[in-house]
Each structure stands twice: as C-alpha cells, then as structure tokens.
Chains A and B, each alone.
Chain A
C-alpha cells in the first residue's frame, strides 16, 4: 500500500522534473540570438616571426625592379633608375648604360635573368630590410646572380642594392625556406670566425696585398682574386716595359654591407669595396684606358701620363661560424661584381 503511494509520488516527481528540464531547454534555445554569438577578436601571438614578404610579393617586387631596369636598358639611359636601384648597383648600372651608349650594346655581363632559384626573406620587424634572391643562370650560361634588395624605410620601396655574379662552383650556405623567413644579421655579428665588418676589411686588405696579406690564411682563394692577380701581372709587365708604375688600392666604404644569417650559423655578407687603379706611364708616354669599358667611359678625353680609374666592387662573402677548423673555418668569397665607374686622366 505504502509502496504504491511512494511509487506514485516518485513518479509524479520524475514527471515534474522531466517537464522542468524540457521547458528550460526550450527556453534556453529560443533565447539564443538568431545569428549566434558575436565573435570576439583573439589577440594574436605576438611572438610569431612571420616573414616580411611572401614569395609572391618577392616575385612581384623583383619583376617591378627588373621592369625598371629593362626600361632603362631599352632607353639606354639611367633616368628613372633611382626609383628602383640604389647603392653600388646604381653606380655600376649607370656606368654600364654609359658604356652601352658609347659602344652601342649593353655588356653581356649586365644581364639579369628573370628566373629565381632561391630567395631569402627576412623576418625582421624594423627597417631597413634586406632580401637576397638568387637568379637562374643566363641564357648564354653565365653564372647565377645574387641580387640584394633593400627597403630602407616603410614608406620606401624595395630597391636593387647590389648584384654579385656567383663564382662557378661556389657553395652557398643554406637558408631557411621563404615561408619561415631568415633573420637578418648585423655588421657586428659575433660567434663567427670574424664579424662581417671585419671580414670585409680583411678581404680588402687581401685584395691590396694578395699573398702578402696577414689574413691570407683566413680566406680560401677565389675567382676574383685569381682574375685580379692575372690582370695585375699583365698590366705590370706592360708598365715595366715603359718604366711606368701601376697601383690598385681597395678601400671599404662605411656601412655598405648587407648580412643574412644562414641556418648553419654563418653569415652571407654582400659588401661594397671601392677601388682606384692608378697607372702612370713612364718616359713621357700617355697612359691609356686598359680595356673597352674604360675606353668607352673615357670617351674622347685627353690622355695624359697618369690615368686614374675608379671601380666599384661588390663581393659576397660567406663567413662560417666560429669553432670550425681547416677549410671549414675559412671565409670564402662566393661571388663578385666589378665595374669601372669613372676614368680620369690626371
């Protein structure tokens, strides 16, 4: 008897409970807004170092720069080049165009292929920013070009700062893929066999003194030095024949280098080195331009006994991380560009 009543009340209670649950559930759902909750902005993780450019953007920038170059090549004039070219490359290109104007054709070595094999995009937040891009080989199988683009401030655009023709067989360090981005280095990067600034100074000394330089052991021999050595010997022979003298002096201008950190801890440095080649003919003879480029630049100038030719050199150095031994600890020049920009008769 009591059992039945208990059962009844228990059952009644369950029914009420079920009813209450059903009602509240229905109420809740109908209360929810038709569009759902307004989404809230999630504060992004500021520690992520996204690359400054996408590969697509790099391609667009490179295309714009090469278009500007192509336009000036076509016009054989350096007008308007400054919008997209700067630094040593602007001087070299201007000179190349001047030579092209005199000779009627652009130097074959001035070609910049449109294709890209590798690009190194920085992750740095500030400015200036540097992007390295390695092109394909040219149609006539010249070596690849290492292009250095810089953006000096946020309201400036990327410009071609330097170009180094990579040496045949030169081994470049590895960089992070463009999707991850690479950290830019500084002129004073430590933990290397030498800081980038110091390495460039040492290389200039090496170019000045060659094997007599105290830094000779710290560098691997390279194509630029071999070529300069040969050139020096040839000119020296000619000069000695007429009792003349010749001297080439390399100097490092201030703050003219770009640094990117490779994945192995080393730095790839692209730097400008200026050089002046002074040739003094003996026995009252005239000193004449040494090659076609110089001749074109000299034009119809009046030759005297002394000729001073200013060159702009761009060198690419790989500085390995400290701690290696043997060849692994040696700084290697992997590419260079060298062009006469001024020929004067003193």
Chain B
C-alpha cells in the first residue's frame, strides 16, 4: 500500500501548487466566461425565437401564371403546410375566375385536351413552383364527342364533380380544409383569360419551436459554466478523496456469491410455505436457530426440577430441544433428518458441525437434569407455571 502523495518533495509541491493555480485561473478566467456567454447567447436566441423571430403562423406563397386558361395544383400541394388553406386567384381582368377543389382524376378529366399550368409545390416559403403542361392528346376530344353529342358542356362552375367551387368577377377566393391527399385545386380563368396571380395562404396550427431547444442548450451551458468555475477549477487532489492505492484484494472466500445467496434465501423461504402440522408459532430468530426448517428453540426452564423458583416459560415457543431429548435420547442428533445440508452450509451462521455439537451437549444436559421434562406443548407448561404461581 502506498499513498498518492507519499513521496512529495518540497519542490514538487511548489510546482504542483503553481500548476493548480494556473489551472484554476484558466478555468475560472477563460472557460467559465465562455460558457457563460454562450449560455446567455443561447437563452437570448431562445427568447428571440419565441418572440420577434417566431415563425409566422400564416404562410403565403404565390405564383404568377401566364399562357394558360387552367391552373391546377399537383396532389398534396393543398395540404403542404397545413390542412387549412385559402386559395386566391386574381385574373387581373374582368372575366369570371373560378376555383374548384376536386379529386385529381376529375380535374384531369376536365383538363383533357386543354393546356394548363401545374403548381408543383413550394420553391421557397413565398413562391409556388409552376410547370407548364401541354394539351393532352386528342383522345379526350374524341371522348367528349363520343358522349352525348347534342349536349353542350356544362359551365365550369356548374360541374357536379367539384367538392366545392367559388367564382368571382376578376378574382376569387376559396377555403379548403383537410382535403384528401389526392384532392387538387383547379383554377379556371375563363374564356380568353390566360394570366393570373395565384396565392395560397396556409394557417399553421402548430409552429416549429426553436426556442425550447435553445433554452435547453442555455441551461446546459449554465451548468457547464458553474462546473468549470467550481469543481473543474479545483486541483484534482482537492476535489478527490484521498485514494489509498493498494494491490487488488482477491475476493474474500467467505463472501457469498449472488447465486448462492439467492438459493440460500430461497431455501429459507421455502419451508415457511409448508403446511404447519401444529398451529403453533415458530421462532425464527431464536438463539441458535438455523434459517432452515428445523428450528430448535430453547426454553428457559431455570431450575424447574427444584420447584422452588418460578418457571419462566415462553408460551409462544415449543421446546423442540426437549422433544428431541425425550424422543431420541441415545442418539438425538443423528436421528434428526438434515434437510439439504449443502444449502445450509451456505447460509447458516453456525456451521453444521457446531450445531451438531451443540445439540449433543444440550441433549445430554437435558437428559441428565430432567428425564420428565414436559414434552407437552408450551400451553400446558404455561398453565402449570401459572398454577404454580397461584399456589405461591
């Protein structure tokens, strides 16, 4: 065994003290302020994000479309930012502008054979990306011709296919809430209309939260700053307990392994579940008692054979020793069954040999002193004792 600071010479100590001082200075003078500043900055950023820089609740993106009468969104564009969206189409002129919410297959059916512009998504937070789509093949024209040739097509606003439709003079606005993924918005700029400003306004129910992680980071930095100013600034020998270094001690043999302890406790518990043949209580922790099933209980009988002194009887105990003595006087210990001797040795405080010796001694003493020791239960003994008392 040797101590860490055992061989400390005066020069060494001085040098060490100097170094510790420098270390503390760096920690308290440089690192702590840095952490502190960072913590303040993080918390300030968090505050700003929660107030001035808070993400806007409404997102408005627009696109200028020219060249086509119809403008249609791609599927999923309606619910891109949030379920609730307001679509505004401004034709700029006086023609009737209509916006409809429809399923994409219905919109495709309506648009067949006509050129249109697709709104494909957000290119940034304020701009909708667009894409020109050429007129479909002539197949759709043939299809509509093959229908009821005599019937005129219905007006855009009158079609049955739209989930909802709004029309206005020059511009219009429609609100869509929780549309299906396949739902699209279809804008009709009317006969001759070919340019419009389409804008989508989403109202966000949940905003991205940047302040909470900032606060968290700030908190961490504060903790770090405190630690650097205190614990980390101390010289190591001060903030540590004096460690006594020694060779590793091999595990003591008497130490009980976990498995052994477990099986031992199991064995101690097991007998308590066995049905009690007699309703008498047992004393678990009586002197000399084993944690295993057979529990010898010493009854203090004093000098009962003289009868001059009161007999002290523990009424709740059973004189197993006396039993053993009475029943098996010649060989009291050997006749007793030894339940699971291996486990006993693992848990018992008194070793098997000691116990046997003890039994043998006790049996002998009892055999000598009173061959007529009351082998009945503690109740009878108790009554007797009381009677004796009463007589006296």
Interface residues of A (CB under 8 A from B): 1, 3-4, 7-8, 11, 15, 18-19, 22-23, 25-26, 29-30, 32, 34-36, 38-44, 48, 50, 52-54, 57, 60-61, 64, 82, 86, 125, 127-128, 151-158
Interface size class of B (residues with CB under 8 A): 35 or more
Flag if A35 contacts B59 (CB, 8 Å).
yes
Flag if B122 contacts A3 (CB, 8 Å).
no
Flag if B35 contacts A22 (CB, 8 Å).
yes
Interface residues of B (CB under 8 A from A): 4, 12, 16, 19, 23, 27, 31, 34-35, 38, 41-42, 45, 49, 53, 55-56, 59, 74-77, 80-81, 103-106, 109-110, 112, 120-125, 143-144, 146-148, 151, 153-154, 158-161, 163, 180-182, 208, 210, 213-214, 217, 220-221, 224, 228, 232, 236-237
Flag if B45 contacts A39 (CB, 8 Å).
no
Flag if B122 contacts A155 (CB, 8 Å).
no
Flag if A36 contacts B76 (CB, 8 Å).
no
- Select one of A3, A29, A86, A153 contacting B210, CB under 8 A: A29
Nearest neighbor of A56 in chain B, beta-carbon distance: B163
Flag if B221 contacts A156 (CB, 8 Å).
no
Given A8-B19, A25-B217, A154-B110, A35 and B208 contact (CB-CB distance below 8 Å): yes
Give the chain B neighbours of A154 by CB distance below 8 A: 106, 109-110, 112, 144, 161
Flag if B121 contacts A34 (CB, 8 Å).
no
Flag if A34 contacts B55 (CB, 8 Å).
yes
Nearest neighbor of A123 in chain B, beta-carbon distance: B105
- Select one of A1, A44, A50 contacting B12, CB under 8 A: A1
A217 to B110, CA, bound (A): 47
Nearest neighbor of B155 in chain A, beta-carbon distance: A155
Flag if B154 contacts A156 (CB, 8 Å).
yes
Nearest neighbor of A49 in chain B, beta-carbon distance: B105
Expressed in whole angstroms, the minimum distance between the Cβ of B60 and any Cβ of chain A is: 12
Flag if B76 contacts A157 (CB, 8 Å).
no
- Supplied contacts A39-B80, A154-B109, A157-B159, 11 more A-B pairs, CB within 8 Å: A26-B217, A29-B217, A35-B208, A36-B55, A41-B120, A44-B181, A54-B163, A153-B146, A153-B148, A155-B154, A155-B159
- Select one of A25, A44, A57 contacting B160, CB under 8 A: A57
Give the chain B neighbours of A39 by CB distance below 8 A: 80-81, 122
Give the chain B neighbours of A29 by CB distance below 8 A: 45, 210, 213-214, 217
A30 to B27, CA, bound (A): 27
Expressed in whole angstroms, the minimum distance between the Cβ of B218 and any Cβ of chain A is: 9
A61 to B161, CA, bound (A): 9
Nearest neighbor of B80 in chain A, beta-carbon distance: A39
Expressed in whole angstroms, the minimum distance between the Cβ of A14 and any Cβ of chain B is: 9
Flag if B75 contacts A44 (CB, 8 Å).
yes
Nearest neighbor of B111 in chain A, beta-carbon distance: A154
Expressed in whole angstroms, the minimum distance between the Cβ of A16 and any Cβ of chain B is: 9
Nearest neighbor of B55 in chain A, beta-carbon distance: A35
Nearest neighbor of B74 in chain A, beta-carbon distance: A41
A40 to B147, CA, bound (A): 39
Given A8-B19, A22-B38, A29-B214, A44 and B59 contact (CB-CB distance below 8 Å): no
Give the chain A neighbours of B237 by CB distance below 8 A: 4
Nearest neighbor of A65 in chain B, beta-carbon distance: B160
Flag if B38 contacts A8 (CB, 8 Å).
no
Flag if B77 contacts A41 (CB, 8 Å).
yes
- Give 10 nearest A-B pairs by CB, closest first: A154-B109, A155-B153, A153-B147, A36-B208, A152-B147, A41-B121, A44-B75, A153-B144, A157-B160, A44-B181
Q: List 18 A-B contacts (CB under 8 A).
A: A4-B16, A8-B23, A8-B236, A22-B221, A29-B45, A29-B214, A34-B210, A35-B55, A41-B74, A41-B80, A43-B76, A82-B151, A151-B161, A153-B143, A155-B144, A155-B154, A156-B153, A157-B159
A7 to B16, CA, bound (A): 13
A242 to B38, CA, bound (A): 115
Give the chain B neighbours of A128 by CB distance below 8 A: 147
Give the chain A neighbours of B104 by CB distance below 8 A: 44
Give the chain B neighbours of A15 by CB distance below 8 A: 27, 31, 228, 232
Expressed in whole angstroms, the minimum distance between the Cβ of A29 and any Cβ of chain B is: 6
Give the chain A neighbours of B153 by CB distance below 8 A: 155-156
Flag if A44 contacts B182 (CB, 8 Å).
yes
Nearest neighbor of A42 in chain B, beta-carbon distance: B76
Given A29-B210, A44-B182, A157-B159, A50 and B103 contact (CB-CB distance below 8 Å): yes
Expressed in whole angstroms, the minimum distance between the Cβ of B71 and any Cβ of chain A is: 16
Flag if A52 contacts B106 (CB, 8 Å).
yes
Flag if B147 contacts A127 (CB, 8 Å).
yes
Expressed in whole angstroms, the minimum distance between the Cβ of B281 and any Cβ of chain A is: 60
Flag if A40 contacts B121 (CB, 8 Å).
yes
A36 to B160, CA, bound (A): 39
A30 to B44, CA, bound (A): 11
Expressed in whole angstroms, the minimum distance between the Cβ of A122 and any Cβ of chain B is: 11
A162 to B221, CA, bound (A): 77
Give the chain B neighbours of A48 by CB distance below 8 A: 182
Flag if B19 contacts A34 (CB, 8 Å).
no
Expressed in whole angstroms, the minimum distance between the Cβ of B137 and any Cβ of chain A is: 15
Give the chain B neighbours of A18 by CB distance below 8 A: 224
- Select one of A11, A22, A52, A54 contacting B220, CB under 8 A: A22
Give the chain A neighbours of B53 by CB distance below 8 A: 34
Expressed in whole angstroms, the minimum distance between the Cβ of A164 and any Cβ of chain B is: 22
Flag if A38 contacts B160 (CB, 8 Å).
no
A151 to B163, CA, bound (A): 16
Give the chain B neighbours of A57 by CB distance below 8 A: 160-161, 163
Nearest neighbor of B237 in chain A, beta-carbon distance: A4
Nearest neighbor of B104 in chain A, beta-carbon distance: A44
Q: Which of B122, B146, B160 has the most CB of A within 10 A?
A: B160
Expressed in whole angstroms, the minimum distance between the Cβ of B341 and any Cβ of chain A is: 51
Give the chain A neighbours of B12 by CB distance below 8 A: 1
Flag if A127 contacts B120 (CB, 8 Å).
no
Give the chain B neighbours of A153 by CB distance below 8 A: 109, 143-144, 146-148
